[in-house]
Every structure is written in structure tokens, then in C-alpha cells.
Amino acid sequence: MMWFNDTNNDGKISKNPHRRKCAFSIACVIIGLLICGIALGVGLGLHLGSTSNNDATTISSTSQANASTTVGQNTATTMVANITSLSTSSTNTILINSSTLVPTISMTTNVSLISTSSTASIATPTTSTTSITWTSSTTSITPTTSTTSTTSITPTTSTTSTTTAPTYCPNWTWNGTGIIVAGTGTSGSALNALNQPWNIFIDSLTDILYVADSLNHRIIKYLPNATSGIVVAGTGSSSSLSNGLNTPKDVFVDSSGNIFVADSVNHRIQFFPNGSLTASTISTTWNVGTLNGVFFYNKTTYASDFDNSAVWANSTAVAGNQGAGSNLNQLNQPQGFTIDTQYNKSTMYIANSNQHTIVQWLPGASAGTIVAGINGVRNGLNTTFDFPLAIKLDSYANLFIADNNNHRIQLYCRYPNVSSTGRTIAGTSGISGSTQTLLKYPAGLALDSLLNLYVSDTSNNRVLKFMRIT
């Protein structure tokens, strides 16, 4: 084999221009390759950065976002995008491995809408292998509309009310000084005077007062706060005519304004239609004696018979009528009475005057029950009476009683508990007088809609009103 020997004969190497050109060309190729590699790396990095920016820009153009971009001298490119929309959740991951990428682009984009969450992350490990992994997802982004509304607020007023716990009969009290609402304290026949007023009645709807002005032989009506009365029955003189009365002892007014009168000495019950001064006699066929009490209920007229010791209902004896006596099937000179129209309907409560008791008589019963007082015992204790003349019930069926000879009004509570002991709510037991704190032989009483107490102070020729306090 022969080697090519490019030397001179004298052993020196000759300068060959072809060899220099070849070496220069190789160097240029190497440099070109290096430049292309760098350019490729930079281009790929810029392309990926541009793609990420385009994605973030697209998201930002359809939603309101806060974006922060950080560029540093790291060896990894990272982009995280959090998107909140209606209901789609997806993750996009781009993995790039390149040891030739020097610039690092880090971008974080946060987009908040309604309920969709999307996260895209780009990470570059330190290996020299370049790979791209792309997971395609479709993200639905619903734009939102911001609406500004003005709310009108109307101030409110806070009201605090205090509710008083209800009190019952044992705690009720009345002012001990009465107010004269009818009469003058002296007997007379003028419209502002009375003469031995007996029982009284108050219209629960209007609080109009009706008085059986016995010795003036009339029924007189007093409007609230009036100083003089209006004659609605009788003529002022004793008479047995249809327009007259003789010593009326009781009066009752029904819901239509019709007036029923116990015309005692005439032994009859008179019926005066509303507005009429002429009456018809209800008790014509009753064969009765002196009638001192009257009550109308459930189309039935009741009357107490002093002489026969009985109570009648449309000509039929419904209590007593067994002769005067102390037995429970007997009465002894009954006077005032009342009827329960709310609870034990048609049950009667009778002032059994000469036995000094209050008797309860149930419908259809042949005997009564003593509910107040002691049979045949008369004195001024809280468990006894001395000739009770009148009785009224309130809406709780408590008993209010005019204890005539003791000059007082007694209250027997029956709600919430039945009591056999009474208490004085007007007058003073055993003491009569003409001051407005005392009574003298009271023969009647009534209650208005507020439970104010009205008393017929018979021997003082007046009607007193005792205001309820509690």
C-alpha cells in the first residue's frame, strides 16, 4: 500500500489549499447545526408559551379573570388555569422534557364564574427526552351578567305590648265608694228622683240602666251618664190598667228591647213591647200570688211567687209550690232569682229569702240544692245571710247577692273553684248609712259589661255604681 505523501523532496510539508477549504466547511456545518438546534429549542419554547398564552387569552376574553405571569431563570415551564363554570370539571396536562430550553415561562390564570373548575398544568422534568402529552377537553363557560339593583328599605316601628295575666273572682275588687247614677238620695217623683227602687236591670250591650221604681209605680230608664231618667212603663200612680203598674218589684229587658215587669201588687207579669207604654198581661191564667221577680229565657217567662213560695214558668210551677218550708223541695218566700243561660242552661238560682239561703234548682228537678248560706240561719257572717233579696250571675257563673238586712253585697265565687264562703264587695256588714260607702236595705243589683256593680240602695232612694278595680 502506498501512502500519499504530500511533502517536498526536502521533507517539508507543503501548504495544500484544498485541505483548508474542507476544514472550514466542516466547521461551518457544525456551527450551523448548533444554531439550528438552539433556534429549534427557542422556537418550540416560544410556540408552547404562545399556545398557553392563547388559551389563557381565550378564557380571559369570555370571563372576568385575574392573571399573574412570572418569567424566571428556571428549567421548567408551568401554567395553571383554574376555571369555575356551571358543572364541567377537566384537567389538561402538557409535559415537555427539554434540556435545551433555557427560558422559563410560568403563568397562573384564575377565572371565577359559576361552578365549573378546569385546571391546566405544564411541567418540565430534567431529562433530555422531549415528549408532549395532551388531553383534550371541552370546557363550557357560561358568561354571567352583573346586575345592580336598588333596594328600598322602609323603617319599621317596634311595638312592645304587655299582656296582663287574667285574674279570677277571688282577686277581683271594687272601689268601696259608690257613685250615684240614679236618684238623689231623697224620695221623689221627678225624673231625677226615685222612691224605694227595688230590683234593677242593665242591658249588656248598651249599659242602659232600668229601675223598678216601686213606690212611683213605674219603670224608669237611665242612659249612661244621664242625670235624669225616661219613663218606659207605668204612669207614676198605682193602677191595674194596661198602661199602669202597682208597686213593680222587678224588670227584665230582652234583646229586642221588650220589657217584662213583675207587677207585684197586681199579681201579674206585664209585657211592654219596645217603645210602647201599653202592656199585655202574660200571667192571666197562672193563678199566682205576689210576683216579685221576672226573667225571660228561651221563649219562656219565669216569675217568683212570694205568696205561694214557688217559681213559675209559663203557668207551670218549676220550683217549690209545696208550701213555705225548709225542706229542699220547698221554698220560703222567694224574691229575686236568675237563670244560667251559658253553662248549666235553664238552671235557676233563687234567693230563698225567709230561709236565708241561695238555692240552685236544676231543670226538671223536684228539689233544690243550697249553694250559699245556711238553711234557716240568719246573721252577718261570711257564710250566712239575713233575708237575701236579689241575685245575679256574671259570665263565669259567680254569684252576686243583695243581703238586704245586712246592708251589703256578697260575692260567692264559683270559678275557677266553687266557694261556700262569701266576701263583701259593697257596703259594710250590719251597718246601714247614707254615705256613699254604706248601703241601707239594698233590694237589687246588676252588672254592666265591665263588671262594674250597680246597687239599688232602696231605703236611700238611689242607685250606686261601684267601679271595678281589678
For the stretch 388-401, pLDDT in tens is: 999 999 999 999 99
| Three cell numbers, residue 57 | 387569552
Residues in the chain, overall count: 470
Give pLDDT tens digits for 133-168.
Answer: 444 444 444 444 444 444 444 555 555 555 555 679
Let me know if residue 410 belongs to a domain: yes
Let me know if residue 366 belongs to a domain: yes
Both 52 and 124 in a single domain? yes
Both 122 and 177 in a single domain? no
Mean pLDDT of 249-269: 98
Decide: 460 and 185 in contact? Cβ < 8 Å: yes
Q: Tell which residue, 352, 117, 104, has the closest CA to residue 360.
A: 352
Both 134 and 177 in a single domain? no
Mean pLDDT of 37-58: 55
Let me know if residue 423 belongs to a domain: yes
DSSP tag of 342: S
Let me know if residue 332 belongs to a domain: yes
| Cα distance between residue 242 and residue 277, in whole Å | 9
Tally the domains of the chain.
2
Decide: 433 and 152 in contact? Cβ < 8 Å: no
| Cα distance between residue 302 and residue 313, in whole Å | 4
Both 104 and 183 in a single domain? no
Which of these three, 138, 157, 186, is where a domain ends? Answer: 138
| Cα distance between residue 5 and residue 192, in whole Å | 170
Mean pLDDT of 232-257: 98
Both 105 and 47 in a single domain? yes
* Residue spans of beta strands (DSSP E) within 273-362: 280-281, 291-297, 300-305, 310-313, 316-320, 337-340, 347-352, 357-361
Single-letter residue type at 354: N
How sure is the predictor about 33, in pLDDT bands with cuts at 50, 70 and 90? confident
CATH number of 194's domain: 2.120.10.30
Both 313 and 374 in a single domain? yes
Q: Decide if pLDDT at 72 tops 80.
A: no
Both 110 and 186 in a single domain? no
Question: Residue 59 is part of which domain span?
Answer: 40-138
Q: Decide if pLDDT at 6 tops 60.
A: no
Q: Decide if pLDDT at 237 tops 50.
A: yes
Q: Decide if pLDDT at 463 tops 80.
A: yes
What does the pLDDT read at residue 42? Answer: 58
Q: Which residue has the cell 193602677?
A: 239
Mean pLDDT of 292-296: 98
Let me know if residue 277 belongs to a domain: yes
Q: Decide if pLDDT at 5 tops 90.
A: no
**Through-space distance between the first and last CA atoms of the chain, rounded to whole angstroms:** 148
Decide: 422 and 378 in contact? Cβ < 8 Å: no
Higher pLDDT, 209 or 59: 209
What does the pLDDT read at residue 285? Answer: 94
Mean pLDDT of 365-386: 98
How high does pLDDT run on average in the chain? 79
Both 366 and 257 in a single domain? yes
Let me know if residue 31 belongs to a domain: no
Both 239 and 383 in a single domain? yes
Both 285 and 400 in a single domain? yes
Both 128 and 173 in a single domain? no
How sure is the predictor about 454, in pLDDT bands with cuts at 50, 70 and 90? very high
Both 109 and 241 in a single domain? no
Let me know if residue 434 belongs to a domain: yes
Let me know if residue 145 belongs to a domain: no
Single-letter residue type at 221: K
Q: Decide if pLDDT at 193 tops 80.
A: yes
What does the pLDDT read at residue 68? Answer: 37
